Amino acid sequence: VKIVDDEKGCLVRDSKLNFVDLAGSEKQKQTEVSGSALKEASSINKSLTTLSLVISKLADKQSKAAHIPYR
């Protein structure tokens, strides 16, 4: 979100929202994968879960001073 002054001295908010398809969030039993593909899918799903937690913490207005679980 970007806030700028226009020519009239009014504050204008400009924001951008991106939608993405996060591959790998399928249920593993339904895809019938095994071996290294199953391990990779598990790793991807764990990463997506962590990303979800980070986004939730960033969006939570009450947790501004709280730790964001990102490294």
* Tens-binned pLDDT, residue by residue, of the chain (71 aa): 666 676 777 777 777 778 777 665 566 666 677 788 778 888 888 888 888 888 888 887 776 667 776 66
Q: What is the pLDDT of residue 2?
A: 66
Q: Is the Cβ–Cβ distance between 45 and 36 less than 8 Å?
A: no
Q: What is the pLDDT of residue 16?
A: 78
Q: Is the Cβ–Cβ distance between 11 and 3 less than 8 Å?
A: yes
Q: How far apart are CA 22 and CA 47, in angstroms?
A: 10
Q: What is the pLDDT of residue 51?
A: 86
